[in-house]
C-alpha cells in the first residue's frame, strides 16, 4: 500500500479497513511513512472524521505500539484517574490520596503542562526531592508499598500516541474528538486498572467548550472502553473559571494539602468530594463519609506516604516553607464594584505561563514558585478597591505580561452572573 493511497481514502471521505490502518501505522513506526504524510492524514481525519470502527482500530494500533502494564499481580481494586486538563485543576493531588485511604490502589500516570493547562507532574515536582520518573517495575513497587503513585507517563507506553500528538499539536488537529478519544483511551487501556475515572473539562478554560461535543467525546470513550473490556466512569465538569483559588505549581500543592486537612470549602473541594463518592461507589465499595475520612487524617497520611515513597520530603505536608515560593506579591484590586465574572479562563492559565509557571515550548524550564491566588470565586460580590487576587512573581517584566493577560480573563459586572452546574453531565445520568 502506498501512503498516498491511504491518505486519499480519508481525504475523499471514505472508510479505511482494519488491515490498511495496521499497515499504515506500522510503516510509520518503521520509518517508511514520513511525518508530512501522517500530518496530511491527520488533517483529512480531522475534516472528514472517523467512525466508531475506525476509532477503535486506531486505538488498537496505539495500544499495540508499546508495552502493556499488567497490574493483576497487585492486590486490591486498581483505579486510574484522568483529567482532560484545566486551569487550577489540582483534583488529582487531592483525590488520589483520598481514594487510596479507603483501601483502593490508585495508579496514575500524568503529563507535564503545555499551554494554558498546568501539569500534575509539574505541580508534584514542586516538592523537594520528589521523583516522577520510574520504570514499570518501580511503578508497581510503589503501588505495593504505598497503595498510590503519581508518576510521569512511561516512554514505552503507547509510543505511537506520543508521535501522533506532537504532530496534532502543530497541525491544528488537536480538537478532533475521535483523535482525542483514541489518545486518552489508548493509554488507559494499556494500563490494566479495574476502573478508569475520567474527568472531561468543559468551558472557556478547557479544550472543549460545547456540551454537545463533550457528550460525544464521552460516548466515543465509553464505546472504546466497552470494546476493550475496560470499566469507565465519566464526568463532564465545569472549567468556566479556575478550579479553586490557586493557579500555579506550589500554590496548588498547598491548596490540595489544605483540602486534605479539611480547611478548604470552594468549588474545588465540592468537586473532589463528588468525584470521590462516585468513584468509590463505582468499584462496588460503599464510600465512607468524606468529611469523616478527612477528619481522620488518613488521606493526608497517604499523601505523605506517597511523597516519601517517591523520594520527596514528607515534611512538606506541614511545612509549606519547604516549597519554592516567589519573592514578590502583587495585589490585584477591583477597579469598580460589582460581581467577578470570568470571561476567558484560558488567559488566567496563560498569565501563569507569562510569569514562568508554565511552558510555551516543551523544553522550557518552569518556575514552581509563581502563580495567582484568587481571594474570591466567580460570581462573588466585590467592592471597588478590594483585592481580587494575589500575583506571585519573581520578575517585573513577567508581572506586566501576566497583568495584560488578566485584563482579558475576567471583568466586574453590575449584574450577578448566571450560576453554572459544577458537573454538567456524568455516565450515571
Enumerate the active-site residues: 82, 161, 168, 183, 187
Structural contact between residues 169 and 163, judged by C-beta atoms closer than 8 angstroms: no
Angle at 200 between CA 258 and CA 178, to 5 degrees: 155
Angle between the 177-190 and 159-170 helix axes, to the nearest 10 degrees? 160
> How far from 128 is each of 132, 189, 352, 353, CA to CA, in Å?
12, 32, 21, 21
Between CA 363 and CA 27 the distance in angstroms is 28
Between CA 82 and CA 346 the distance in angstroms is 20
Cell numbers representing residue 58 in the block: 486506531
Amino acid at each position: 500500500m502506498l501512503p498516498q493511497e491511504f491518505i486519499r481514502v480519508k481525504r475523499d471521505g471514505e472508510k479505511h479497513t482494519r488491515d490498511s490502518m495496521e499497515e499504515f501505522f506500522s510503516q510509520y513506526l518503521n520509518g517508511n511513512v514520513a511525518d508530512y504524510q501522517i500530518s496530511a492524514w491527520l488533517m483529512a481525519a480531522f475534516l472528514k472524521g472517523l467512525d466508531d470502527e475506525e476509532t477503535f482500530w486506531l486505538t488498537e494500533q496505539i495500544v499495540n505500539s508499546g508495552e502493556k502494564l499488567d497490574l493483576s499481580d497487585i492486590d486490591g481494586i486498581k483505579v486510574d484517574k484522568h483529567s482532560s486538563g484545566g486551569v487550577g485543576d489540582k483534583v488529582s493531588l487531592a483525590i488520589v490520596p483520598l481514594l487510596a485511604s479507603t483501601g483502593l490502589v490508585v495508579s496514575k500516570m500524568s503529563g507535564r503542562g503545555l499551554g494554558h493547562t498546568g501539569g500534575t507532574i509539574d505541580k508534584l515536582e514542586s516538592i523537594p526531592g520528589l521523583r516522577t520518573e520510574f520504570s514499570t517495575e518501580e511503578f508497581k513497587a510503589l503501588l505495593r508499598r504505598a497503595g498510590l503513585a503519581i508518576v510521569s507517563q512511561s516512554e514505552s507506553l503507547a509510543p505511537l500516541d506520543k508521535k501522533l500528538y506532537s504532530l496534532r499539536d502543530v497541525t491544528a488537529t488537536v480538537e478532533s474528538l475521535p483523535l482525542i478519544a483514541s489518545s486518552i483511551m489508548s493509554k488507559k487501556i494499556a494500563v490494566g486498572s479495574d476502573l478508569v475515572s475520567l474527568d472531561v473539562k468543559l468551558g472557556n478554560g478547557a479544550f472543549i467548550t460545547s456540551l454537545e461535543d463533550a457528550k460525544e467525546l464521552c460516548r466515543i470513550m465509553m464505546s472504546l472502553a466497552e470494546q476493550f473490556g475496560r470499566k469507565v466512569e465519566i464526568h463532564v465538569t465545569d472549567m468556566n473559571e479556575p478550579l479553586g483559588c490557586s493557579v500555579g505549581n506550589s500554590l496548588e500543592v498547598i491548596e490540595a494539602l489544605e483540602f486534605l486537612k479539611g480547611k478548604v470549602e470552594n468549588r474545588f473541594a465540592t468537586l473532589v468530594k463528588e468525584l470521590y463518592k462516585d468513584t468509590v461507589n463505582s468499584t462496588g465499595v460503599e464510600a465512607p463519609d468524606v468529611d469523616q475520612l478527612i477528619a481522620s487524617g488518613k488521606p493526608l497520611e497517604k499523601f505523605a506516604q506517597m511523597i516519601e515513597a517517591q523520594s520527596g520530603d514528607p515534611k512538606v505536608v506541614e511545612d509549606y516553607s519547604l516549597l519554592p515560593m516567589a519573592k514578590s506579591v502583587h495585589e490585584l484590586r477591583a477597579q469598580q464594584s460589582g460581581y467577578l465574572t470570568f470571561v476567558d479562563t484560558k488567559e488566567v492559565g496563560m498569565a501563569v505561563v507569562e510569569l514562568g509557571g508554565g511552558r510555551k515550548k516543551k523544553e522550557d524550564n518552569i518556575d514552581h514558585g509563581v502563580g495567582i491566588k484568587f481571594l474570591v470565586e466567580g460570581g462573588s460580590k466585590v467592592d471597588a478597591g478590594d483585592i481580587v487576587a494575589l500575583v506571585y512573581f519573581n520578575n517585573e517584566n513577567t508581572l506586566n505580561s501576566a497583568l495584560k493577560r488578566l485584563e482579558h480573563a475576567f471583568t466586574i459586572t453590575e449584574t450577578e452572573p448566571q450560576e453554572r452546574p459544577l458537573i454538567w453531565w456524568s455516565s450515571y445520568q
